Structure 1
Amino acid sequence: MANKEAKLKQNDNNVIEFIEAVESPRKREDAYRLLDLFTEITGYEAKMWGPSIIGFGSYHYKYASGHEGNAPLTGFSPRKAKISLYLTMPDDEYEKFAADFGKHTRGKACIYVNKLADINVAVLKEMIKVSVIFSKKQNR
C-alpha cells in the first residue's frame, strides 16, 4: 500500500504570526514563553509543522508497517482548550518527571497543560532535553 501524504509537514508559515493569532492573551503570553524556552533548550529555530504545531528540529521515522515520515524532535501548540507539549520519551522517563511537573494530563503523543503557571518550568526544561535525545535516537 502506498504511503498517504503526511498531514504533519514542516512549512514556511510564520511562527510569530501564528502566535499573534492565538485568541487568549494568557495563552499567547505562554506561547511566547514556550517559544523562548524551547529555542534556548534545543538550539533549533522554531518552524511551523502543519497548521498549528511549533516544532524544533526534525527526525525521520519509519514504522514496521512501512509508514514513514518526518516529525519535529519536540514542540508545542497553544490550542484553544489546552497547551499541547510534544515531549516524546519512554514511560519510565516520563514517570521520573510526572510527580514534580505540576498539573497536567498525558495523551499518547503529548502532554496537556492549561497554563504555564500550573507547571514546574525547571522540570519542563529537563523533559525537553530528554525528549530531544530520545527523538534523535528514533531517527532512521
Structure 2
Amino acid sequence: MAENKTRPTEASVEHYLEAIADEDRRQDCETLAGLMARATGQPARMWGTAIVGFGSHHYRYESGREGDMCLVGFSSRKGDISVYGLNAAPSHETLMPKLGRHKAGKGCLYLRNLREIDLEVLEQLVAEAAQAKARGHC
C-alpha cells in the first residue's frame, strides 16, 4: 500500500508564512495559525511542503488505508486558504451556517479571507474537531 506523502517535517512554519507574497493573505494565515494553536493547544508544524498542521492522529479507513495526519491544519493555496479537518467537529452541521462566507468540499473548507468569517465560530470548529480526533471519534 502506498505511503502517505504528507508527513510532518522540520521545515519552518515561520518561513512558510513569511514566503506568502500577498500581505493580507499572510496576515490571515498568521491569524489562523494563532487561532489553531490556541484552539488545539498544539504548536504549529509543517506537514509536507505546504500544510501548517497542529497535533496528529492516526486514521484508518474502511478500505484499509491508514496513516497519520495533523488533527487540523491549513494551507495558503492560489485562490483560497484551505482548512483541513473541521468535518470532525460534533457541532459541524450547526456551526457551518454561522461561519460566514466560505466554500466547502468533501474534506476541506475554503476561505477567501478572514474578514468574512466569524473567528469565534471558526475557533469552536477547530477546537471541537481536534478534540474529537484526539479521542478517536472520527
TM-score by length of 2: 0.92
**Structure 1 residue aligned with 2:30:** 32
Q: CA RMSD in A?
A: 1.8
Q: Which residue of 2 aligns with 1:118?
A: 116
Determine if contact 2:88/2:133 at 8 Å carries over to the other structure. no
Structure 1 residues 44 and 91 mapped into 2: Cα distance closer, same or farther (>3 Å)?
A: closer
Aligned counterparts of 2:58 and 2:87: Cα–Cα separation in 1:
16
CA distance in 2, matches of 1:59, 1:124: 20
Structure 1 residues 36 and 92, CA gap change in structure 2 (3 angstroms):
closer
> 1:96–1:77: structure 2 CA closer, same or farther, 3 Å change rule?
same
SS at match of 1:89: helix
Q: Which deviates further from its counterpart, 81-90 or 98-107?
A: 81-90
> Offset of 1:88 from its aligned partner?
3.1
Q: What is the number of equivalent residue pairs in this alignment?
A: 138
Q: Could you list the runs of 5+ residues in structure 2 that have no partner in the other structure?
A: none
Alignment check: 8 A CA contact 1:59 1:135 kept: yes
Written as runs of structure 1 = structure 2, the 5 A alignment for 1:43-58 is 43-58=41-56
In structure 2, what is the equivalent of residue 75 of structure 1? 73
| Partner SS, residue 91 of structure 2 | helix
Identity fraction in percent = 34
Which TM-score applies when normalising by structure 1?
0.91
Q: Aligned partners of 2:85, 2:112: CA distance in 1, in Å? A: 16
Distance verdict in 2 for CA 1:94–1:64, change over 3 Å:
same
Instruction: Kindly indicate whether the alpha-carbon contact (under 8 Å) linking 1:45 and 1:57 is maintained by their aligned counterparts in 2.
Output: yes
1:139 is displaced (CA, Å) by 7.4
